[in-house]
Structure 1
């Protein structure tokens, strides 16, 4: 059986992650920890497992693009063909963007905030023009090619999958089926959306799927049958992986 690997990585910690803020489509930078982890966790794991790539995909957001650039430089292929597309953007967290998750939990209750964060089809409140990040999101030049009718005000995992999965099926998956080794560096919700689709995870069970920053996830595909082989494999020590998953699941402080 001839197989091909696809690697999926959630970007390193952003400045908004560091402050425990909802980020979504705000174009936050990587934190110092995020820059370090892209090298010391993501790149190191890829080199340890001798992973190589033919093409990379990322979003229109800097935190994912910068993570990818660091990784490609570290693994010795800074000129790898790369495609950036807004359909791999993090979900739009609506009017939650810019607010501290713990403060939102204190205001609306932990259950409601976790529903907004982890449910399949519940939309956060739509962003309004008085949100402090509304204008910089709407005017981001990286988003200028997004059709106005497709520019969201809020997204759930379900609606995010409405843009991610067609892109996966039409653009990325054919590359894998053609034998190309694909690297995707994107965001937490994008990783969950792809995991749900690829692994056929139910709407209920996806609530408990937490994919941490920086740790590479490897999917293996059968090139002849064009199907998934086995389960997702994380390139990390199990104790460290579980600790990071718990951190991702938590509302934080």
Structure 2
């Protein structure tokens, strides 16, 4: 089961995203449209000095609800599982995690307020940092998730998302250090190499990728939102901003953004959840809405009305191939955190005992 639901074999014609240069297929989940990539027969490999993933998945296992088990995933990392927050897992796969009924946490955080949010400008893919308020929002988000295990972090390639992830982790009680992996070329890999095994164990890999970037707003980027509405009309600007499949001039629609964001989630992030890894994603309003559309099986009409506040974490529990939304964790000092499961409560108790 992928993205919280089973796959139907009904497929439309390929939809081409000019910003990706690749084609994807539109599939239907429980009779509701969900943009999902065409990954049939694909195989991917991502590696770094202290993180390696090998993915190989068959066409049948991706696009049909069959009884066959997907091809194995190997995840090697200095990471932890929810059940034992300080143990190191060296090998996991779909079948193993299914047998153990591993529970994994998935945390989604929209970046804190940016300088262009403050100025009411269309930001999109322009790389703008956080405001002072945005920094405070990121720190507050970190306090809310300080008792929830984090083994891996994924962010977009934009600084506001990366700042949010890093600032949030300064508040985590596990005290592990988030380290951005540089795998662009051999020099980047060599120069960023860590030579201490103990230091690796106390680190959390941070993987950045443009596919988690904010929707590209084309010729609207840098324009004032109010002035743009006065120039083109409120209805036209609302259509560009809030419709599902209508892009702004030379920009991306939400549908096009969803093609790349959901593809990346399924191909890179979801295998880690199957392997029992606890994942945090720090990204943007539209890339996160795209992922939530898949997790919650929202229609294209439902997702356009979904609002995500800056700096507010959202917690999902992944267990037995299903995603269950647990809401937003409240302040770390409050005892009755409704978002907690029994396993997460045990994790927090372990942290409490280690602090004495």
Q: TM-score range by the shorter chain?
A: 0.7 to 0.9
Bigger helix share = 1
Q: Distance in 1 between the 2:323 and 2:108 partners?
A: 14
Q: Distance in 2 between the 1:232 and 1:200 partners?
A: 16
Question: Where does 1:1-150 land on structure 2 (aligned, <5 Å)?
Answer: 2-39=102-139, 41-47=140-146, 50-75=147-172, 76-79=175-178, 80-126=204-250
CA RMSD of aligned residues (A): 1.5
Bigger strand share = 2
Q: Distance in 2 between the 1:54 and 1:166 partners?
A: 21
Classify the secondary structure of the residue corresponding to 1:81.
strand
Partner of 1:216: 313
Higher relative CO (Cα under 8 Å, sequence separation at least 6) belongs to 1
Classify the secondary structure of the residue corresponding to 1:208.
coil
Deviations 1:10-57 (A, max 9, x none): 001000001111001111011111111111x2111112xx11110000
Partner of 1:233: 327
Question: Where does 1:139-218 land on structure 2 (aligned, <5 Å)?
Answer: 154-218=251-315
Q: CA deviation at 1:106?
A: 1.6
Deviations 1:57-86 (A, max 9, x none): 001101111111111222132231110011
Q: CA deviation at 1:97?
A: 0.3
Q: Distance in 1 between the 2:221 and 2:323 partners?
A: 35
How many residues in Structure 1 have an aligned counterpart in Structure 2? 204
Q: Distance in 2 between the 1:115 and 1:182 partners?
A: 34
Structure 2 unaligned blocks of 5 or more: 1-100, 179-203, 332-356
Whichever of the two has the greater Rg, that structure is 2
Q: Distance in 2 between the 1:164 and 1:191 partners?
A: 8
Q: Distance in 2 between the 1:196 and 1:109 partners?
A: 29
Partner of 1:145: none
Q: Distance in 2 between the 1:228 and 1:37 partners?
A: 26
Structure 1 unaligned blocks of 5 or more: 127-153, 238-253
Q: Distance in 2 between the 1:235 and 1:210 partners?
A: 17
TM-score normalised per structure 2: 0.55
Q: Distance in 2 between the 1:35 and 1:185 partners?
A: 14
Q: Distance in 2 between the 1:77 and 1:110 partners?
A: 47
For the 8 Å contact 2:102–2:276, the answer to whether it is kept is no
Q: CA deviation at 1:232?
A: 5.1
